[in-house]
Structure 1
Amino acid sequence: MKSALMGSLKFQIPQLNFHKTLKKPRPSFLRGRPRPPLWRAKRLSTEAIQAIQSLKLARSSAPRLEEVFNNKLSRLLKADLLDTLAVLQNQNELDLALKVFEFVRKEGWYKPDILLYHAMIQLMGRNKMVEMAEEFFGKLENEGLKPDTRAFTEMIGAYLQVGIIDKAMETYERMKASGCDPDKLTFRILIRNLEDAGKEELVDCIKKECGKEAGGRFFLKISSAQNGKVAVADLQYHVLKCQKARNFAVSSCEADLISTLLKLQSRRAHASR
């Protein structure tokens, strides 16, 4: 009897396909790489962890969710509440993040903070909710905050996520007109997505502007390993003083510019020999 039962079990277990590993779809990331989990960068308090878990468990019941807000989130310290919001944003918990964001805005200590809006616009863009991203951009201005480079960049990214290139370029021009200079992230997002869309003329224009941004003064720390020892040197280079160097930066226009400046330094050293 026992042997028959064991034989039956051995026969049935493979049928359940426990040995198969489910393949998760690979998400696409606008910036080219996934965001690291927040818990790796910062240690969360026990209260924040419990609040996050309670929110997730109560999400399907409006009364239970309201109870969590009243009994748990209302007792959190400012830092813990902001950490809770950041984790929900990082984990792409859209509905919960929206509710916690509005809860934060109602707190007595709340003051308009552009960093909170950066994260919310990014979250909306990641979920291809362009209208809500525009709404948060409008709220930012309504609260007396001036959009900065990061806010414009996140809005550009939101448009590019859904292929609205005209709006993305309009926002890019508005950013420059407002006095905000595009940064490395702005150029990276624009060039990568415009190339994917086959917009070669726009890519060339952006690369030229990227090269012009390289025409200023850069202070970079470059690490080099020699004989097992790491030497850190400051590289100060005035590209505007060298027209050839400026043209080289325009033609190559690497997103982080570090590699470009290293090549320029190498060329300069070779020419002086």
Structure 2
Amino acid sequence: MEASLSLPFRSVQPRLHQAPATSFVTCGLRNSTRRPLWRSDVLSTEAIQAVQSLKLAKSTPRLSHVLSTTLARLLKSDLLNTFAELKRQNEVDLALKVFEYVCKEEWYQTDLALRCEMIQLLGKNKMVTLAEVVFSGLLKEGIEGDTRAYAEMIGAYLTADMIEKAMQTYEKMKAAGRSPNEFTLMILIRNLEKAGERELVEFVKRDCVEYLDSPKKFLEEVERKYPKRRSVELV
């Protein structure tokens, strides 16, 4: 059973967001060691203690009390670092509760990077329904998802072997004017090949011609890193 998710969506004026730079990954859909841009290099004592307290109270009746009392004492930076550390440890239920708490804070404004991190964690744990709620929250808060947000949602579907939903989201991304980047194309090619969807693989590889500056170089890199998969020649 997936945990419930209740977020206070706020109506705000749309803002433009630049998609972050991407790179090849060596395992899974993304390198899990990549540090969020808003996370500090070193956790404060307060953040470390918060993580420990939440983990000790997990699955106990004390959790709600610990959440309200522990998180209320944290500065904004420590609160975000607590979320990031729980995500790093794959404490998905606790990270989700901290995420919900952050969204209720007075200082909170829609944080695209934070939502992408949450979608990634939920997708990794095949909690697709909750990932969809977080993704749709961007629209409810007046923010159009950027390329990374769509890519994380595509990755969530692929992790759950929901090929049709992944391709629908890919088409929605393009229709919204968000050009697929190398990371998006990489996870699609790798996972579609793994699923034996050869026609879809060829379709995505042909999209490389339209959306990448150096499509042949990109596909050569895919072939070099993953030699067991046969490349489709560009036409």
Global fold match (TM > 0.5) = yes
Match of 1:149 in 2: 147
Amino acid at match of 1:36: T
Match of 2:42 in 1: 43
Contact between 1:207 and 1:250, CA under 8 Å: does it hold in 2? no
Match of 1:232 in 2: none
Which structure has the larger Rg over C-alpha atoms?
1
Q: How does 1:179-194 map to 2 (within 5 A)?
A: 179-194=177-192
- Report the structure, 1 or 2, having the larger strand content: 1
Match of 1:253 in 2: 219
TM-score (norm 2): 0.76
Query: CA offsets per residue over residues 159-207 of structure 1, 9 Å max, x none?
Result: 1111111111111011001000101110110000001011111111111
Identity %, equivalent residues: 52
The total of aligned residue pairs comes to: 197
Q: SS of 2:90's equivalent?
A: coil
Match of 1:107 in 2: 105
Contact between 2:57 and 2:66, CA under 8 Å: does it hold in 1? yes
Q: Distance in 2 between matches of 1:255 and 1:174?
A: 27
Q: Distance in 2 between matches of 1:174 and 1:37?
A: 27
Gapped runs of 5+ residues in structure 2? 1-25, 226-235
Deviation of 1:211 (Å): 3.0
Q: Distance in 1 between matches of 2:150 and 2:142?
A: 16
Structure with larger RCO (C-alpha < 8 A, sep 6+):
2
1:72 aligns with 2:70: yes
RMSD: 2.6
- Report the structure, 1 or 2, having the larger helix content: 1
Match of 1:11 in 2: none
Q: Distance in 1 between matches of 2:217 and 2:63?
A: 55
Match of 1:133 in 2: 131
Q: SS of 1:138's equivalent?
A: helix
Q: Distance in 2 between matches of 1:71 and 1:172?
A: 41
Deviation of 1:36 (Å): 1.9
Match of 1:211 in 2: 209
Q: Distance in 1 between matches of 2:34 and 2:205?
A: 32
Contact between 2:150 and 2:169, CA under 8 Å: does it hold in 1? yes
**1:42/1:137 CA distance change after superposition, 3 Å:** same
Deviation of 1:70 (Å): 3.0
Corresponding residue to 1:169 among 154, 164, 167: 167
Match of 2:233 in 1: none
Q: Distance in 2 between matches of 1:114 and 1:251?
A: 30
TM-score (norm 1): 0.66
Q: Distance in 1 between matches of 2:87 and 2:73?
A: 21
